[in-house]
Chain A
Amino acid sequence: MNQFLSLLLNGVSLGALYALIALGFVIIFKSSEVVSFTHGSLLLLGAYSIARLSGPLGFWLAVLAGLLITAVAAFLVERLIINRLRGAAVISLAIVTIGVDIILLTELVRRIGSDILNVPHPWGGQSVRIGPVGLSQNRLIAILVAGALIAAFFAAFKYSSWGVAMRASAEDGETAALMGIRQGRVSAVSWVVAGVLAGVAALFLVGSPTPGVTPANYAVALRAFPAAILGGLDSTGGALVGGLLIGIAEALAAGYQDQLLFLGRGFSAIVPFIVMIAVLLVRPSGLFGTKELTRV
């Protein structure tokens, strides 16, 4: 039972980070009608920048700079490419983002080489015990920060002008334009927000229990992708639920892997995709989505 609770809590912390990334996917999709595959390399860019800058700048400044770099990169992708291709088919735009992703990823992998870069989190690698349940300090802080960010995000989405403009243009772009809403601006802000969220996720994903910054961090964003899809690619609430679901499923599969050995080692890494496929078979537009991907 204690093991189960431990795994559950670890799953929630991982899921909260997936949710941050998935929220980025969702707002990009809602505001630009783009399925963004650049998130993997954006995440890695954030992790790499924080790790590299921690030496010269110290941890906290490096975090700020890393988030800024990720946000600027996302902004440039939107301004220089996506904005100019407005109106192109969803599938071509998706492939364009894959192209951008490959370019960025190749460069980052070259720079990282075979090193494992470390981010010197001021919180160490120790774990904390909450009653009978253990969790790394890093993951505990991750839950708190991600929770606060997610709450702030939902408040902004509901109450801010950006939130209203974004929901209006997602529902009916032409009419939003007739109301004077600048869709280019809404879309650019969404990419920046998505970049920052990915950067924050990166900060915690490269801490304990993960060894540090390696190209393998890239795969984490790929697992957040099923989270966004199974929630419904156009639903922010779905991204949150999807992220948590995937995080918990993955943590449980990893924790019980001895019992699940018949499924093969490393099974937990593919659990997100299996959960996604299972959900989509039952609900093709995801748990809370309104659009089926095949129809766009």
Chain B
Amino acid sequence: MRARRPVLTVQDLRVTYGGAVQALRGISMEVPDGKVVAVLGSNGAGKSTLLRTVSGTLKLHRGRVESGSVRLDGTDLLARDAAQTVRSGVVQVPEGRRIFGRLTVEENLRAGAMGNRDRAARAAAQARVHELFPVLKERSSQRGGLLSGGEQQMLAIGRALMASPKLLLLDEPSLGLAPRVIGQIGEVIAEINRQGTSVLLVEQNATMALGVADLAYVLDVGEVSLSGEAGVLAGTDEVQRLYLGHDADHQRGRRATSGRTLSRWTA
């Protein structure tokens, strides 16, 4: 594929929690400008840790960057706190949606726009969000906690878009949703990307993620075990076996099952 200037560059990143747990053991990756990059991995692989490091919330979890770098268009993101990171154009949709349940839908969106100082940009973001998610406009005065799971995920994504990010980070948006809704989320991500936002998508649901991604990385206990174009990766035995639920054991012999056990996605 054609090389593009990366919007996000992660180099040799090592992260620990409480000085003991090594969550990331030296990973390197890139998000090319305008692309969707998927990071696959089972529970505990370090996916959320990667996003926390990028978004500047690692400290809230008592995590620490031991070495490595995270750069956005060449500027060092590790030196920025969460609020500054949002202002530089990187916004994370957290795992489990985490919408403000006691705030109305409209207030949730207002909260998302707090890092967006430009009035015109805020208005444009609001229009884009209502167009992508008409349901949020209909429900604007309802409390967030009353929305269904799928609607909450849309609110969480819409809220993040209110900051007009150039890079959107998504932590397992399919978690706990019905297959039909997961399909919609996939389409929304593709549409957001078409409108010019780069996306870093963390998932256990490989089918959805590889469906929308251009590139993918497989994270395994804090290390990148595979990477490449999403279509190619989807065809490899390892991804088929571990993430797409196809049993490739008969081709490779029994040794494949004797190693580590990885939990499969359950969404």
Pair B83/A171 contact, Cβ less than 8 Å: no
With contact pairs A176-B111, A178-B91, A179-B111 given, residues A167 and B82 touching in the complex (Cβ less than 8 Å): no
Rounded to whole angstroms, the CA-CA distance of A137 and B117 in the bound complex is 46
The interface residues of chain B lying within 8 Å CB-to-CB of A179 are 86, 91, 111-112, 114-115, 159-160, 163
Does A258 have its Cβ within 8 Å of any Cβ on chain B?
Answer: no
Pair B83/A182 contact, Cβ less than 8 Å: yes
Pair B60/A177 contact, Cβ less than 8 Å: yes
Q: Which residue of B lies closest to A170 (CB)?
A: B102
Does A3 have its Cβ within 8 Å of any Cβ on chain B?
Answer: no
Does B240 have its Cβ within 8 Å of any Cβ on chain A?
Answer: no
Pair B60/A174 contact, Cβ less than 8 Å: yes
Chain B interface category by residue count? 20 to 34
Pair B94/A168 contact, Cβ less than 8 Å: no
Q: Which residue of A lies closest to B92 (CB)?
A: A178
Rounded to whole angstroms, the CA-CA distance of A259 and B108 in the bound complex is 54
Rounded to whole angstroms, the CA-CA distance of A178 and B101 in the bound complex is 16
Pair B110/A164 contact, Cβ less than 8 Å: yes
The interface residues of chain A lying within 8 Å CB-to-CB of B107 are 164, 167-168
Pair B114/A174 contact, Cβ less than 8 Å: no
With contact pairs A167-B102, A167-B103, A167-B107 given, residues A178 and B57 touching in the complex (Cβ less than 8 Å): yes
Pair A161/B57 contact, Cβ less than 8 Å: no
Does A287 have its Cβ within 8 Å of any Cβ on chain B?
Answer: no
The interface residues of chain B lying within 8 Å CB-to-CB of A174 are 57, 60, 94, 98
Does B17 have its Cβ within 8 Å of any Cβ on chain A?
Answer: no
Rounded to whole angstroms, the CA-CA distance of A172 and B98 in the bound complex is 8
The interface residues of chain B lying within 8 Å CB-to-CB of A20 are none
Does A180 have its Cβ within 8 Å of any Cβ on chain B?
Answer: yes
Q: Which residue of A lies closest to B163 (CB)?
A: A180
Does B87 have its Cβ within 8 Å of any Cβ on chain A?
Answer: yes
Q: How many contacting A-B pairs (Cβ < 8 A)?
A: 69
The interface residues of chain B lying within 8 Å CB-to-CB of A173 are 60
Q: Which of A161, A175, A177 contacts B100 (CB 8 A)?
A: A175
Pair A171/B101 contact, Cβ less than 8 Å: yes
The interface residues of chain B lying within 8 Å CB-to-CB of A161 are 110, 114
For residue A95, give the distance in angstroms from its CB to the closest CB of chain B. Answer: 23
Rounded to whole angstroms, the CA-CA distance of A176 and B115 in the bound complex is 10
Q: Give the one of B55, B98, B108, B111 with max A CB within 10 A.
A: B111
Q: Which residue of B lies closest to A186 (CB)?
A: B114
With contact pairs A167-B103, A171-B101 given, residues A178 and B86 touching in the complex (Cβ less than 8 Å): yes
Q: Give the one of A168, A174, A180, A182 with max B CB within 10 A.
A: A180
For residue A175, give the distance in angstroms from its CB to the closest CB of chain B. Answer: 4
Rounded to whole angstroms, the CA-CA distance of A164 and B106 in the bound complex is 10
Pair B55/A178 contact, Cβ less than 8 Å: yes
Does A277 have its Cβ within 8 Å of any Cβ on chain B?
Answer: no
Rounded to whole angstroms, the CA-CA distance of A70 and B98 in the bound complex is 37
Does A117 have its Cβ within 8 Å of any Cβ on chain B?
Answer: no
Per the 8 Å Cβ criterion, residues 105-131 of B in contact with A are: 107-108, 110-112, 114-116
Pair A178/B94 contact, Cβ less than 8 Å: yes
Q: Which of B83, B98, B101, B103 contacts A164 (CB 8 A)?
A: B103
Pair A164/B94 contact, Cβ less than 8 Å: no
Rounded to whole angstroms, the CA-CA distance of A165 and B81 in the bound complex is 17
The interface residues of chain B lying within 8 Å CB-to-CB of A167 are 100, 102-103, 107
Pair B60/A164 contact, Cβ less than 8 Å: no
Per the 8 Å Cβ criterion, residues 147-204 of A in contact with B are: 161, 164-165, 167-168, 171-182
Rounded to whole angstroms, the CA-CA distance of A55 and B71 in the bound complex is 60
Q: Which of B57, B91, B102, B111 contacts A165 (CB 8 A)?
A: B111
Closest 8 A/B residue pairs (Cβ): A180-B115, A180-B86, A177-B82, A168-B111, A175-B98, A182-B83, A181-B114, A164-B110
Residue contacts A-B, CB under 8 angstroms, 9 given: A168-B103, A171-B102, A172-B100, A177-B81, A177-B82, A178-B82, A178-B91, A179-B163, A182-B83
New contact pairs (10) apart from A164-B111, A167-B100, A182-B83, CB-CB < 8 Å: A167-B107, A168-B100, A175-B100, A177-B56, A178-B92, A179-B91, A179-B112, A179-B163, A180-B83, A180-B116
